[in-house]
Amino acid sequence: MTRQAMTRQLWTHARLATLAGDQPWGWVEDGALVTEGEHLLWVGPAAELPAAYQQSVAQTYDLGGAVVTPGLIDCHTHLVYGGHRAHEFELRLQGASYEEIARAGGGIRSSLKATREASEDELYRVSARRAQALLDEGVTTLEIKSGYGLTPEAEAKMLRVARRLAGLGVDVRSTYLGAHALPPEFEGRADDYIGAVCEWMPVLQREGLVDAVDVFCEGIGFSLAQTRQVFEAARRFGLPVKLHAEQLSDLGGTALACEFGALSCDHLEYLSAAGIDAMARSGCVAVLLPGAYYFLRETKLPPVQALRDAGVPIAIATDHNPGTSPVLSLLLMLNMACTLFRLTPEEALRGVTQHAARALGLSDRGQLRAGQRADFCVWDIAHPNELAYYVGRNPLRQVVRGGLMRN
């Protein structure tokens, strides 16, 4: 590590929503942070700041009472794809359902065509604009799935673009979602396709492109047996799994995912009591996606109170994708998690920090405490509940990622 990277910096007059400890919000009214290199060295009330730290810092920043939270984490996106699907939005407004459009050859398959046709540079260009919108609201860690390529080459192209987006100043976690839809060349041969998805997995993994494996387990996606096959392959290659589960119907994918120690199950509108029980027992994170719920004009709510009662950690994400959630605002998702799903503003913030980190298997971020990465946001607000309150106002003042200020 270079000397520069190990520089100590002090941040004072911060109102800290640490999300650590027992206080609501992990609140510290007059707080200070000391960073050393990429990490937080000390976090707490200014009055308790050890004198040794005060003397050894290279830089001091006075935040003037601004609110500081952990950097935001968008733990479920399909951000890399070609084209868009505004015409399908119009069809749905005229009464067609998402499933009808998918079965008629639209949906994921239309994005597949546009993604395959796009060059890697073109894909990077359109995806970088989308990623920048998320970064501008304080996202410091971003998960991106493949799944609009569905050949080994096109999936690798998507995942390379995802990795390249890290150059914008964000940590990218990339998830292999080969089992997103059946590509036309495998029409009528879903089992063969799943076999191929499993064969491509170690190839992509060897290229350093895969952090986790996901499946779309649904009537219009893949069956429980096919999901199991993909998860067994992931286990062989030592890759953690996640699942698009119980979004449009209750297939029981959640319980299966929990058998494989899934990091998260995502969507969950149709989740049953047995599914909740499995999640609670295995420590799986429930990732709720209010953007997709809203955009599909879904009316079946995910079982938030039952998840809460069972002690299942709840994360919130944009699910940014061209078909069901063309959402590029994680702050808006905080608001919708509260208005649509009845989360509290504090639960919503934990959902895009602490619990989102866990949904990605990351234990080094999501809270402000010594030892965690120095990823944090400085907001021009007086209380963190304002993050879930405004619609269309971005109060972000400054992002620090890995101890460095991001412009």
Binding site for Fe ion (CB under 5 A): 319
Whether 368 and 40 have beta carbons less than 8 Å apart is answered as: yes
Q: How far is the CB of 244 from Fe ion (least distance, A)?
A: 5
| Radius of gyration (C-alpha) of the chain in whole angstroms | 21
Report the residue closest to ligand NIG, judged by CB: 323
Q: How far is the CB of 81 from Fe ion (least distance, A)?
A: 12
**Residue 226 binding ligand NIG, by CB under 6 A:** no
> Which one of 49-57, 163-171, 316-324, 370-378 is the stretch in contact with ligand NIG (CB under 6 A)?
316-324
Residue 46 or residue 75: which is nearer to ligand NIG going by CB?
Answer: 75
Q: How many residues bind ligand NIG (CB under 6 A)?
A: 13
Among the listed residues 245, 290, 289, 291, the one whose alpha carbon sits nearest the alpha carbon of residue 270? 245
What is 36-91 written as a DSSP string?
A: ETTEEEEEEEGGG--HHHHHH-SEEEEEEEEEEEEPEEE-------SS--HHHHHH
**Residue 146 binding ligand NIG, by CB under 6 A:** no
Q: How far is the CB of 31 from ligand NIG (least distance, A)?
A: 37
Report the residue closest to Fe ion, judged by CB: 319
| Partner in contact with 323, chosen from Fe ion, ligand NIG, none, beta carbon below 5 to 8 Å by kind | ligand NIG
Residue 76 CA to residue 142 CA, distance in Å, equals 8
Q: How far is the CB of 321 from ligand NIG (least distance, A)?
A: 4
Q: How far is the CB of 326 from ligand NIG (least distance, A)?
A: 10
Whether 384 and 67 have beta carbons less than 8 Å apart is answered as: yes
Residue 70 or residue 323: which is nearer to ligand NIG going by CB?
Answer: 323
Per-residue 3-state assignment (H helix, E strand, C coil) for 111-150: HHHHHHHCCHHHHHHHHHHHHHHHHCCCEEEEEEECCCCC
Report phi then psi at 357, rounded to 5.
-60, -45
**Residue 399 binding ligand NIG, by CB under 6 A:** no
Q: How far is the CB of 213 from Fe ion (least distance, A)?
A: 14
Name the DSSP letter for residue 373: B
Residue 172 CA to residue 92 CA, distance in Å, equals 32
The residue ranges that bind ligand NIG (CB under 6 A) are 78, 107-108, 111, 216, 244, 247, 292, 319, 321-324
